[in-house]
Amino acid sequence: MNLPDLKKAKIRSDKPSLYKKVENIHQDLFKNEKFFLKTYGCQMNVHDSEQIRAILENLGMSETDNLEDARVVVLNTCAIRENAHDKVFGYLGRVKHLKKDNPNIIVAIGGCMSQEENVVKEILQRHPYINIVFGTHNINELGSLIINATNNKQDIEVYSEEGCIYEGVNYSRDSKITAWVNIMYGCDKFCTYCIVPYTRGKERSRKIEEIIKEVENLKRQGYYEVTLLGQNVNAYGNDLKLGYDFAKLLEEVAKTGIKRIRFVTSHPWNFTDEMIEVISKYDNIMPYIHLPLQSGSDRILKLMGRRYTKQEYLDLVAKLRNKIKDVTITTDIIVGFPGESEEDFLDTLEVVDKVKYDGAYTFIYSPREGTPASKMLDNISLEEKEERLKRLNERINNYSKESNEKLVGKVEEVLILGISEKDNNKLYGYTKGMKLVNVIAEKDAIGKLIDVKITDAKSFSLDGEALKVNN
């Protein structure tokens, strides 16, 4: 048994990261059995679940989307806000019920919530039916933990270490068209509200040659798009001290010739001119930047530990718009950070008015145990926070509709990913600027880049008609 420890998770040393080659266990112990996998949280977790899926398939199981059919249930959790926590424990109620009828079911909890001390305490005290708790640092051990769990004892294996770098990971990917590629793990920014540095360890970059090898492999397999993943991609390479950075990596990935490249997330601090240069130089790097603002108030930005001012953020946006043709910019914003006044909030609205975002994820601040902000005096009522969120969302939605309307009548290249959820007669895909388009097209366009004439615009999507398949 290894329990999470937030104090240990805070430590950052100068020690070089450890490389580990992952051993993939192939054993048909669970042949003809099914697993159910549910994922919460960010792209990083979505990608981790592709590793979890490969591990479970290697044990002989196949996936089911029906919880009732599963022998093994895995929840890959997120800790970013309190409601993520509530959702998982709500869901566990159903699992507990199932396990009463069938004690053979193996329940495993992984992801960022597993890295939290209070969550694991709660599991120990109140959820004895959970067999396995594993963390973000030992996903590769899940196979053996499941094999051991057939003895029905509770096993908690969570490490609060700085973390290492895994190579040779097997992924069973969600898509055959677009793929996630981890370029680095962890985060050293310690924004005062954020739990991620504690749940994911220190910033560790994969070597450039390993990343290029993975992208080339994906290209060979017919993938059209890769998304380079890191909590803060601008920090890529710093820890390696090998003389290369994110701009260099991006350029090398572009040179592989894969059709589309994007990256998340880039911090507004240290977004270098070289990065902008490379993005504007290569056609296969999508002109799409997710640039979290969090707040437009200098006072709040300082309390958040974000390392930029409102003006510096606006200057960066101006540079991006200037240098990158047709760039789309999206963001994350938190309202109701401890002590946020109406004046502070108006500063945020002012930035929104100036940047006119293409889209945004907006959140009410949620205190996370162990973070500095959770100890700050939070004297704004929930009512006030909800009202600010509503005003912010109205403003954001107007601008995203406005930016979508500018595309009506134009022809956009769209990567078609599948059948539209809203209308089965249509397909859906994304423009180079990551705008969702519902398209009237033949089904064989799925997995292809097609030219689409945009016919209508809404706040969150576009409508269009296929003109021609490009390849």
What does the binding site for ligand F3S look like in residue numbers (CB under 6 A)? Answer: 41-42, 44-45, 78-80, 111-112, 195-196, 199-200
* Distance in Å, CB of 299 to ligand SAH, minimum: 18
Question: What kind and span of H or E run contains 320?
Answer: helix 310-323
* 294, 328, 330, 431: residue in contact with ligand SAH (rule CB under 6 A): 294
State the angle between helix axes of 382-405 and 342-355 in degrees (0 to 180), rounded to the nearest 10.
Answer: 10
User: Binding of ligand SAH at residue 231 (CB under 6 A)?
Assistant: yes
Please answer whether residues 427 and 419 qualify as being in contact, where contact means their C-beta atoms are separated by less than 8 angstroms. yes
Can you tell me whether residue 372 is helix, strand or coil? helix
**Which CB atom, from 382 or from 425, has the smaller least distance to ligand SAH?**
382
Decide: is 234 part of the binding site for ligand SAH (CB under 6 A).
no
Distance CA 251, CA 72 (A): 42
Contacts to ligand SF4 by CB under 6 A: 187, 189-191, 194, 196-197, 231-232, 267
Angle (deg, nearest 10), helices 342-355 and 310-323: 10
CB 167 within 8 A of CB 206: yes
Q: DSSP assignment, residue 375?
A: G
| CB 227 to ligand SAH: min, Å | 14
Min dist CB 375 to ligand SF4, Å, is 16
Find the binder of ligand SAH among 111, 186, 237, 292 (CB under 6 A). 292
Q: Terminus-to-terminus CA distance in the chain, angstroms? A: 53
User: Using CB under 6 A, which of 366, 393, 397, 459 touches ligand SAH?
Assistant: 366
Map residue 13 onto helix, strand or coil: coil
Q: The tokens 């996998």 sit on which residue?
A: 37
If contact means CB under 5 to 8 A according to the sort of partner, which of ligand SAH, ligand SF4, ligand F3S, none does residue 204 touch? none
Question: Which of ligand F3S, ligand SF4, ligand SAH, none interacts with 197 (beta carbon under 5 to 8 A by kind)?
Answer: ligand SF4
Q: Is 339 left (phi over 0), alpha (psi -120 to 50) or beta?
A: left
Select the binding partner of residue 41 from ligand SAH, ligand F3S, ligand SF4, none (C-beta < 5 to 8 A, by kind): ligand F3S
Q: Does 393 bind ligand SAH (CB under 6 A)?
A: no
Rule CB under 6 A: choose which of 232, 297, 328, 438 binds ligand SAH.
Answer: 232
Interacting partner of 212 out of ligand SAH, ligand SF4, ligand F3S, none (Cβ under 5 to 8 A depending on kind): none
Provide the token pair at 325.
């043709």
